[in-house]
Structure 1
Amino acid sequence: MRFMVIVKATADSEAGVMPSEELLAAMGQYNEELVAAGVMKAGEGLHPSSKGVRVKFSGSQRSVVDGPFMETKELIAGFWLWEVESLQACIDWVKRCPNPMPGDSEIEIRQIFEAEDFGAEFTPELREQEERLRVQMSKT
Structure 2
Amino acid sequence: MANCCFSQCQGPFQAWLRPGYWIPGVRNLHSCRQTWDLDGTPSENFDRLSHFIEENERQQNWILRQANSDTHFIQIFTYTPSQWLDVTEIQLQPGPQSGTRAVCKSFSSGFLPVCVPGAPLWNALLCFVPFSDMGLARKRLNRICTENGGRLSKL
* TM-score normalised by length of structure 2: 0.36
Say which one has the larger Rg.
1
* Larger RCO of the pair (alpha carbons < 8 Å, separation 6+): 1
